[in-house]
Amino acid sequence: MAIAADKNSDLFIDGKLVPGGNGRYPTINPATEEVLGTAADGDAEDMSRAIDAARRAFDTTDWSTNTELRVRGIRQLRDAMKEHVEELREMTMAEVGAPRMLTSAAQLEGPVEDLSFCADTAENYSWRQDLGVAAPMGIKTQRTIAREAVGVVGAITPWNFPHQINLAKLGPALAAGNTIVLKPAPDTPWCAAVLGELIAEHTDIPPGVVNIVTSNDHAVGALLSSDPRVDMVSFTGSTNTGRAVMAAGAATIKKVFLELGGKSAFLVLDDADLAGACSMAAFTASMHAGQGCAITTRLVVPRARYDEAVEAAAATMGGIKPGDPTNPGTICGPVISERQRDRVQSYLDLAITEGGRFACGGGRPADRDTGFFIEPTVIAGLDNSARVAREEIFGPVLTVIAHDGDEDAIRIANDSPYGLSGTVFGADPDRAQSVADRLRVGTVNVNGGVWYSADAPFGGYKQSGVGREMGLAGFEEYLELKVIATAV
Ligand code: NAD
């Protein structure tokens, strides 16, 4: 079978590919601004049918208790994605503007492989735990802890790493025994819709277990956070939207799992290789045009070497030209949309208004009049109180901030409403480690270590989220816990 979703994708409801109640809407290639094709535009009734199907599959089939079926289904989906990986790669580059080199990692092949972790975890998990016999209140009792699926999961995802985020919800939610309604971002419908095609064609996953509703209307996704038939919402996106999801979920006391924004710091200690560290920070901030929630976008450097640090960062970032994502050498492609490009540009304008200056970049590249490109930009001359140092920009933008020693660097890193990730570079590993220990964030890279992997939980402190995705912790987010006490 060839993938059809990369022309005109459908909704996937109760095991069937179906049209959307609102017709179709165009999908745009962010690198060329060309219309690639269309996606089904689901409406409120489609969403209601999808929730109904997921509810029925959970309540009336053995999906939640048939671990063998679930493990098989997840592995079949993984294998089908691998079989179609080249088509998926083309689709991902076209729809997301994702650079080719990232599709062999977190943009595609990484998360597909991570489905193995989900299947293996379900296969080997201790679903019941014997607490032994005790006599609370004098009554001899055998106690057991049972872990079971939460129920119907509504998954709402953004556009920046669609496969990674869709699969990091779908994989563990299914492995744990839930059924799911996935509502992807309006800008990246195909990366989600294709899962419906592959599930229908290549897996034993029963109808209703997975439902996918693409829509151009954010309000259709919002229904998942208020509908009483949904037990849990698993959301990744901006902190503002996360707040709305949490508030809407309160009415039915939904379990709410949130992966939100970030403004992570890259700390360079005064014993570090300054040029190497700043160059690494600049490269990271340019990847996928800075559209990564955990990218370190504040470069915090020793005050005495501030100018040198700015120069090193600008030398790397100024040399990275935004380009065609299909080119194997491209690291910085376009941002997702015209709206997003305008938003990034407005932050660049704000940096100047706030008294900053550009050490490189600062706007649209002169040689690209089509495509939603922004030059990798280094902002200098501001401290951590500037809005460009506090708010998430989600573009290839790095703000360089001076620190006065380790204590001050830690203070600056933690002086943020967010707490998603961080990096520490220093020659003395013990000192770098002790700085890392004091960061109020969910993941830290010390001297280039990589925290991203299937078995490592990912998520944020403070306004970066609630809960963890991936790893055993990410699997257990999708479980309830029941104590069974039997008098003996
Ligand atoms: P967004 O918040 O605008 O949209 C995310 C999703 O929410 C989309 O599917 C959208 O249709 C839906 N949505 C919008 N309004 C809604 C509402 N009221 N109720 C329910 N759903 C609604 O985010 P975005 O612009 O698509 O993505 C970028 C953001 O995502 C950034 O802030 C980034 O940091 C964040 N992000 C976080 C992580 C993480 O793991 N922490 C990962 C990737 C992206």
- Atom 43 (ligand 1): residue with closest C-alpha? 293
Q: Is 41 in the pocket of ligand 1 (CB under 6 A)?
A: no
Same domain, 247 and 272: no
Distance (Å, whole) CA 275 – CA 277 = 6
- Judge if 75 and 224 occupy the same domain: yes
Same domain, 361 and 235: no
Shared domain for 334 and 471, answered yes or no, is no
Query: Looking at the structure, do residues 185 and 305 belong to the same domain, yes or no?
Result: no
Ligand 1 atom, smallest distance to 244 CA: 18
Helix boundaries (H) for 5-137:
44-60, 67-83, 85-96, 100-103, 109-124
What pLDDT digit, counting tens, does each position of 322-359 carry? 999 999 999 999 999 999 999 999 999 999 999 999 99
Phi, then psi, of 267 in degrees rounded to 5: -95, 125
d(CA 2, CA 51): 28
Query: Do 208 and 323 share a structural domain?
Result: no
pLDDT per residue over 151-191, tens digit each?
Answer: 999 999 999 999 999 999 999 999 999 999 999 999 999 99
Per-residue DSSP letter, 469: B
Q: Is 419 in the pocket of ligand 1 (CB under 6 A)?
A: no
pLDDT digits (tens, 9 = 90+) for 60-106: 999 999 999 999 999 999 999 999 999 999 999 999 999 999 999 99
Q: Is 160 in the pocket of ligand 1 (CB under 6 A)?
A: yes
Query: How crowded is the C-beta side of 207, counted as CA atoms within 13 Å?
Result: 8
Residue nearest atom 17 of ligand 1, based on CA coordinates: 222
Residue appearing with tokens 């899962």: 195
Which is the closest atom of ligand 1 to the Cα of 248?
19
- Is there a single domain that holds both residue 101 and residue 6? yes
Task: Answer yes or no: do 188 and 237 share one domain.
Answer: yes
From 41, 107, 156, the mutation candidate for ligand 1 (largest count of ligand atoms within 8 A of CB) is 156
Cβ–ligand 1 distance for 46 under 6 Å, the answer: no
By C-alpha distance, which of 421, 388, 420 is closest to 260? 420
Catalytic residues: 259
Q: Is the CB of 109 under 6 A from ligand 1?
A: no
Q: Report yes or no: 190 and 212 within 8 Å, Cβ to Cβ.
A: no
Which domain, by its residues, includes 391? 264-452
My answer on whether 213 and 362 are in the same domain is: no
Q: What is the pLDDT of residue 6?
A: 66
One domain for residues 104 and 220 = yes
DSSP-derived secondary structure letter, 369: S
User: Which ligand 1 atom minimizes the distance to the CA of 187?
Assistant: 26
pLDDT, tens only, 3-23? 766 689 999 999 999 999 999
Tell me the DSSP string of 433-460.
Answer: HHHHHT--SSEEEETT----STTS-B--
Report yes or no on 458 lying in a domain: no
In a domain, 457, yes or no: no
232 & 307 share domain? no
pLDDT tens profile 218-266: 999 999 999 999 999 999 999 999 999 999 999 999 999 999 999 999 9
313: amino acid identity, one letter: A
CATH number at residue 49: 3.40.605.10
Q: Is residue 252 part of a domain?
A: yes
Q: State whether 310 and 255 are in the same domain.
A: no
d(CA 239, ligand 1 centre) in Å? 8
Gap from CA of 270 to ligand 1 centroid (Å): 37
**Residue 410 forms part of a structural domain:** yes
Cβ 322 under 6 angstroms from ligand 1: no
Q: How far is CA 305 from the centre of its chain?
A: 34
Q: Are 481 and 147 spatial neighbours (Cβ–Cβ below 8 Å)?
A: yes
Contact 337, 160 (CB under 8 A): no
Mutating to test ligand 1, I would choose from 293, 393, 421 the residue with most ligand atoms within 8 A of its C-beta, which is 293
Query: Quick check: CB of 220 below 6 Å from ligand 1?
Result: no
Total tally of structural domains belonging to the chain: 2
Is 280 domain-assigned?
Answer: yes
User: At a CB cut-off of 8 Å and minimum separation 6, what does 250 contact?
Assistant: none
Residue 39 in any domain: the answer is: yes
Question: Could you tell me if residue 389 is inside a domain?
Answer: yes
